[in-house]
Structure 1
Amino acid sequence: MATQSNKDAFMGGLMNLFKEQWQADVLLKAGDSDDGAAIPAHKLVLAGRSEVFKDMVEQGEFKASSKLETITLSEMKHGEVEALVEFMYSVDGSISCRSLGKHGRSLYLAADKYKILHLRDLCRHHLIQSLDSSNALSIIELAQIPFDKDLHDAAFAAINNNLRPIASSDEFKLFVEKYPNLTVEIMKASLTWEASPNHIHLGGNRYCGHCGSYCRFCGYPND
C-alpha cells in the first residue's frame, strides 16, 4: 500500500540531490557574488528546465572541460539565483510566496531571459495580484521589457483606477519623461473612462457598470 511518507521521499528526491550537492557538475554564480559563493547544480536539471541553459551546457567548452564550469548570471543577486535554482529543482512546479514576494520582479525577468515559461506565469500572476497605487508604474514599466500584454493591461487598469494619487507622485514625473507615448495613452484612457456612462463614482470609488464591480483590472469599456 502506498504511504504518504514514501510519496514525500519520492517527490523530494530531486531537491535532496540539490541540497546534498551530489555529483553536481556545474556552478551558478550571481553577479554580486565571488566564486566561493557559487551554487552547485546539475546540467541535466538545468537543461530539462530551460532551453537557454541547455544551449549553454552543450557548448564545446562545457563538454570538453573536466573541471566544474561556472555559469555567471550577472544580472541577478545571490538570493535571486538561489530562488531560481530551488524552483528548477521543484517537482510540482511551485514556488514559495516568500520567494515571490522578495524576488518576484527579478525572477520574472530571469524566467523570460532563460525561457522558463511556467515560472514567468507564476511571477506574472503574483505581480498582478500585488498591484496597487504604489507599484503600478514600476510594474507597467516592467511589462515593457519585453512586452507582456497581460501584465501591461493589468497595470494600465490599476493606474487608471488610482490616477489621482499616482499623477501627483514624483515617480510619475520621471515616468512621463521616460515613457511619453505611454503616458498619453494613460491620460486618454482616463478621460474616456471618466466620460463613459458605464462608470459612476460612489464614495470616491469608481463603480464599473461594464463588469458590475469595483473593477481593478477590468480597465475601461471598449464601447
Structure 2
Amino acid sequence: MLESDEVKISSEKVETVTLREMKKEELEALVEFIYSDGSVLCAKMKQHVLYLAADKYVILHLRDLCRTELISSLNSENALDFLELAQIPFDTVINDVAFSFIITNISTIASSEKFKLFVVNNPYLAVEIMKASIYSDGSN
C-alpha cells in the first residue's frame, strides 16, 4: 500500500513512513480506520484529505465510505468544494451528484462569494455549470 512513499530503515530495523500531505488528525483517522478492520467510521471521514488518502493508497472500502459520507453531507455551502474534489481523482459519482445539486440550486450558489472564487479557479467547470443551468431552464 505504501510502496510509492519514502521508507526509511534505521539501525534497529524499524520502518518509518512519512506522509507529509496529511495532518496529524487526518493520519490518526486513517490509522484508526486501518487498524479497526474497516469498521470504525469517525467524524474525520468527511475531510477531503482522508478521501484523497484513501484514493491515493487504494483503500477502496474507505474511499467508498468517505464518498458516501461526503455525498450525505452535500449542501449549498460545500457543493462547489465537492465538485472540485471530484476532479482530483476523477470521481464520476461525486462529480455527478455535486454537479446536479449545483444546477438544482444554481440561484443560491451562483450568487455566493464562494462561486466568484470558484469561477476564477475553475473556469472550465464554471462554464459547464452555466451551460447546464441554462439548458435546464428549457432555453436553447
Whole-Å separation in 2 of the counterparts to 1:134 and 1:150: 19
Given candidates 171, 190, 194, the residue that maps to 2:114 is 171
Q: Does 1:131 align with 2:74?
A: yes
Whole-Å separation in 1 of the counterparts to 2:64 and 2:11: 35
Question: Secondary structure at 2:137's aligned position in 1?
Answer: helix
Whole-Å separation in 2 of the counterparts to 1:86 and 1:195: 49
* Structure (1/2) with the larger strand percentage: 1
Whole-Å separation in 1 of the counterparts to 2:107 and 2:52: 29
* AA at the equivalent of 2:75: D
**If the length of structure 1 is used for normalisation, what is the TM-score?**
0.57
Corresponding residue number in structure 1 for 2:40: 95
User: In the TM superposition, what whole-angstrom CA distance separates every residue of 1:183-212 from its partner, at most 9, and x where no partner exists?
Assistant: 11111111111218xxxxxxxxxxxxxxxx
Paired residues, what number? 139
User: In the TM superposition, what whole-angstrom CA distance separates every residue of 1:23-46 from its partner, at most 9, and x where no partner exists?
Assistant: xxxxxxxxxxxxxxxxxxxxxxxx
Percent identity between matched residues is: 57
Any stretches of 5+ residues in structure 2 without a counterpart? none
Structure whose alpha-carbon radius of gyration is higher: 1
Whole-Å separation in 1 of the counterparts to 2:73 and 2:11: 45
C-alpha RMSD over aligned residues: 2.2
Whole-Å separation in 2 of the counterparts to 1:182 and 1:170: 16
Corresponding residue number in structure 2 for 1:111: 54
Any stretches of 5+ residues in structure 1 without a counterpart? 1-50, 197-223
User: In the TM superposition, what whole-angstrom CA distance separates every residue of 1:64-88 from its partner, at most 9, and x where no partner exists?
Assistant: 8534232111111111111100111
